[in-house]
Amino acid sequence: MKNFTVLGAGIMGHGAAQLFAQAGKNVRIQARRESSLEKARELITNSLKIMVEKEMLTGNDMDQALARITYTTDLREAIQDTDFILESIPEKLELKLDTYEIIESVVSDKTIIASNTSTFPLKELTQRAKNPERFIITHFFNPPQLVPIVEIARFEKTAENVVQTTYELMKEIGKSPVVLKKEITGFIVNRVQVAFLRECFNLIEQGVCTAEDIDIAVKGSMGFKWAFCGPLESQDLAGLETTKAMVHNIEQELSNTREVPSFLKEMVENEEFGIRSNKGFYEYDDFGAKAIHTRDDHFLDLLKLQQQKAKKENAVPAVK
């Protein structure tokens, strides 16, 4: 598989396109507006420059990656002779269905069609598909060029070779893929994240602590450990008898609400959207530019460390 197409030039689209290009693939990015493509080109270039500065890539690596990417507003041109399509367009079902109809009228039967959606199940996405067996979900996380995980979701009609090919491809571009054994709303990460956030919101509502207190506590505990030792492995290392006692003592006190907390509703009603409005749980004066730069800088340092660790673990021992 050498020719790839990314539909959508937003945060997820341009980041995924960068990954494919870094892995030696020819990539076409398609968007409806030239301005979106120009923004994507700028973001990809800046991202690669930072990786060169951090010595994660060479200048030649960067130049070659940029040379592999082409940009177009023409959907049919973007999908011509492509092996793999990543759809990352707005989460509007009719728009996706219409796009898939055009795709299937152009591409070969062997082309894999992947969606980055975390909203729609494949049963809905393929309701008008001629070849539903070639559809799959590859759910990247923001920013996709930095966050290692990709959740792969299939459904009963997805062909086994499509699952395997997609899994191997995600590994080839440097991701840590997981394949869901069955499709479920929210997949793995968002389900765990929402359950976690529910208790965070509960602590704030009860006046136990502030949002900043929670962030400090989590970054210095689970956040510190889980990057290299996940939540279940951590329990093995701590001892499951301790885990059993902790769960028994605390679970009855945890929130089990199924409602969005009132303070979060009020924040959204007051247009406190986070970086988009310069105010959320924190206040910003640059639409989050500084916060995003700081976050990505830390992500790159962690990614570099993880890559060095993996390279060391996979190194062939020297012959004595």
Q: Which of 179, 211, 241 is the last residue before a domain boundary?
A: 179
Cβ neighbours of residue 141 closer than 8 Å, sequence gap 6 or more: 147, 149, 150, 189
Segments forming the whole domain that contains residue 98: 3-179
Q: Please state, in angstroms and rounded to a whole number, the distance separating the CA atoms of residues 141 and 116.
A: 9
Mean pLDDT, the chain, integer: 95
Considering only CA atoms, which of 184, 188, 185 is closest in space to residue 176?
188
Please give the full DSSP string across 98-161, using - where no structure is assigned. Answer: HHHHHHHHHS-TT-EEEE--SSS-HHHHTTT-S-GGGEEEEEE-SSTTT--EEEEE--TTS-HH
How does pLDDT run across 166-188, given as a tens digit for each residue?
999 999 999 999 999 988 999 99
- For residue 210, being part of any structural domain is answered with yes
The yes-or-no verdict on residue 320 having pLDDT over 60 is: no
What mean pLDDT is predicted for residues 26-37?
97
Question: Final residue of a domain: which of 152, 179, 206?
Answer: 179
Q: Summarize the confidence of residues 214-236 as an average pLDDT.
A: 94
Q: Determine phi and psi for 82, rounding to 5 degrees.
A: -100, 150
Distance CA 114, CA 261 (A): 34
Determine the average pLDDT of the residues in 310-319.
69
User: Is the Cβ–Cβ distance between 21 and 66 less than 8 Å?
Assistant: yes
Whether 146 and 203 share a structural domain: no
Strands 84-87 and 69-72: unpaired
At which of 134, 155, 179 does a domain end?
179
Q: For 69-85, write each residue's pLDDT tens digit.
A: 999 999 999 999 999 99
CATH classification of the domain holding 294: 1.10.1040.10
The domain total for the chain is 2
